[in-house]
Chains A and B, each alone.
Chain A
Amino acid sequence: MPRFSSRTNPKSIIIINKSLVNLTATRDIYGLIESYTFGGINFADDNALLKLPDDVEIILEISEDKNFLRVDLGTKGYQNKKHEESLDYFESRSKLKWYLFIKSGNNILARIENLEPTFPNDADSKGLIHVEVADLGEVLWRVEKDPSRPIIQVNKCPELDMIGKLKEPIFRGLVIINALEQFLELYSYNPIPDNTGDWQELWKEYFYNNNIDDIPNESLSDEDKHEWVQQTINILAQKFKLKTAILNQNPN
């Protein structure tokens, strides 16, 4: 169902539901995004999209800091599907952003910002926390606090195998709660999703399913936001029992 907002979307541009776009990606052995596959947009399941004429054009823009790639995906009537297109063009491939829009002339008629490909070979790709490897020099991990999609970046050095290490209780204990705190801080300042499927929606769903209070809608002071983050992080820490997991692993 398209959502319109007169404040953020005065031209009533159709906001495309993420589930209608078939975009998948693969990773290389270092965990970096290697290629993407565009399987098409499902126009039939959305009345607003269905009404668009056949000759509207589909464009995908992939960007990463200062790098940018524009891909012509054909028209509604004849979609130009892509199969395992290489992303070598991008240098780090750890903070890619995907923007897909449908246009007629210069006017955008429908769009989805912060579109994220799914990773068929990646069981956790729909989780709350996204982890990407990145060239971090001597830094082991950090949170990239991008309001459009925060991610944990871990050092790409293959000898370190940071992705593998994050499965070990001691590393989870050292990294996850601190990273979550940074995610929640960002959330407390940006709780409203711009688009369907944005990271904030996943958190809202998680809070709802786990009986955790979401941040109140009214505008809060910085102190109140901080307090909400602290309360929530305590609840999550209790839930994850990361210390207990370490103790259970090393009973002595």
Chain B
Amino acid sequence: MLNTIHCFNAAGLKYFESFLKDTKLDENRGLAKKDLPSSLISDPMYVEEYSYDEIDITKKFTTRYELGKYLVDEWVNFNKKDYDEVGVWAWIAAVYFDQIRGKKTQDWYHFIPGEYDQERTVQSVGYRHAVRTPFKLIENKYEDNFVKLCTNRNISTAGDAWENFTGNQKVLSSAAIRNLLVEMYYDEKKETFKPGVFTNVSKAKHKSVAGKAGARRVLPIIIPRVKKSFDIHDMDTDELIEACGKEVQTSRWVKKPKIK
């Protein structure tokens, strides 16, 4: 069912925020999830027309990547200023709420952009928005495999790659790092990250290879070390892998050269 894109007004945002916090409180007490009133997305008390572009409000998606791609295609009159319109992103999240919502309802800033309540969100959590982040990555033409690496999980989950990469400007601003992450951690068949990428290194078991050269080693430890000797900005993936040293070169994440 096609519907023009709307946005929540102040009352709508407040209602949606209260609903999200109330249901989470209930769930934490062991009570059942509350249902979002289906009329909320069309109630003139809470919503306003925002764009002439239309979206199918009954469409089903498997992943947030699919959702982002669909919205980028349909929202043809999108303007960069729209990124700052909290109400429109919250409205779209409400439209697809039942799909995005996890087994336990996520924190409110997965549905309403974090900047809505700066007083109570000490850290910037804007990147956690379930709709705006995949939309932004796709609309800004990040490499398709990188976007899939971050957002192509089940629509009701964000996942470690989303959490670790999509809010990190060191990743978003460096094609070299993004290409490295895709080369090492992206599973082309499953179109998402490989299992074990985010495993922590065991401090107790020194001989264990678990977590070695994984994302939790490469981004916070190995890359900063490489950057003491190299400007990685213009490096290609092979050069960067070589600069990262033995841990990365010999890891399970790097394709071994084929023996001719």
Query: Is there a chain A Cβ closer than 8 Å to B57's Cβ?
Result: no
Closest beta carbon of chain A to B99's beta carbon, Å = 28
Interface string of A101-121 (1 = CB under 8 A from B): 101011110010100000000
| 6 A–B pairs (Cβ distance < 8 Å), ordered by A | A66-B167, A68-B170, A68-B174, A70-B173, A70-B233, A106-B239
| Complex partner residue of A108 from B170, B173, B228, B235, CB under 8 angstroms | B228
Q: Is A107 in contact with B230, judged by CB distance below 8 angstroms?
A: yes
**B201-233 contacts to A (CB < 8 Å):** 227-233
With A11-B229, A13-B228 known as contacts, the answer to whether A68 contacts B122 (CB < 8 A) is no
> Measured between alpha carbons, how far is A65 from B164 in the docked complex, in Å?
12
Establish whether residues B230 and A135, one from each chain, have CB atoms under 8 Å apart when the complex forms: no
Q: Which residues of B contact A107 (CB under 8 A)?
A: 229-231
Asked whether A67 is an interface residue with its Cβ less than 8 Å from the other chain, the reply is yes
| Besides A59-B233, A106-B232, 5 other A-B contacts (C-beta < 8 A) | A13-B228, A59-B231, A63-B169, A68-B170, A106-B235
Chain A residue with the shortest CB-CB distance to B164: A66
List chain B positions with a Cβ less than 8 A from chain A. 118-120, 122-124, 167-170, 173-174, 227-235, 239, 243
Find chain B residues with CB under 8 A from A108 CB: 227-231
A165 CB, min distance to chain B CBs, angstroms: 20
Query: CA of A69 to CA of B169 in the docked complex: distance in angstroms?
Result: 8
Contact B169 A67 (CB under 8 A): yes
The answer to whether B120 touches A137, judged by C-beta atoms less than 8 angstroms apart, is yes
Interchain CB contact (< 8 A) of A106 among B123, B167, B169, B230: B230
User: Of the candidates A92, A106, A113, A136, which one forms a contact with B228 in the assembled complex, judged by CB atoms under 8 Å apart?
Assistant: A113
Closest to B231 in A: A103
Q: A88 within 8 Å of B by Cβ?
A: no
- Asked if A91 lies at the interface with its beta carbon under 8 angstroms from chain B, I say yes
With contact pairs A63-B170, A66-B170 given, residues A106 and B120 touching in the complex (Cβ less than 8 Å)? no
Residues of A within 8 A of B234 (CB): 106
Please tell me if the beta carbons of A137 and B228 are within 8 angstroms of each other in the complex. no
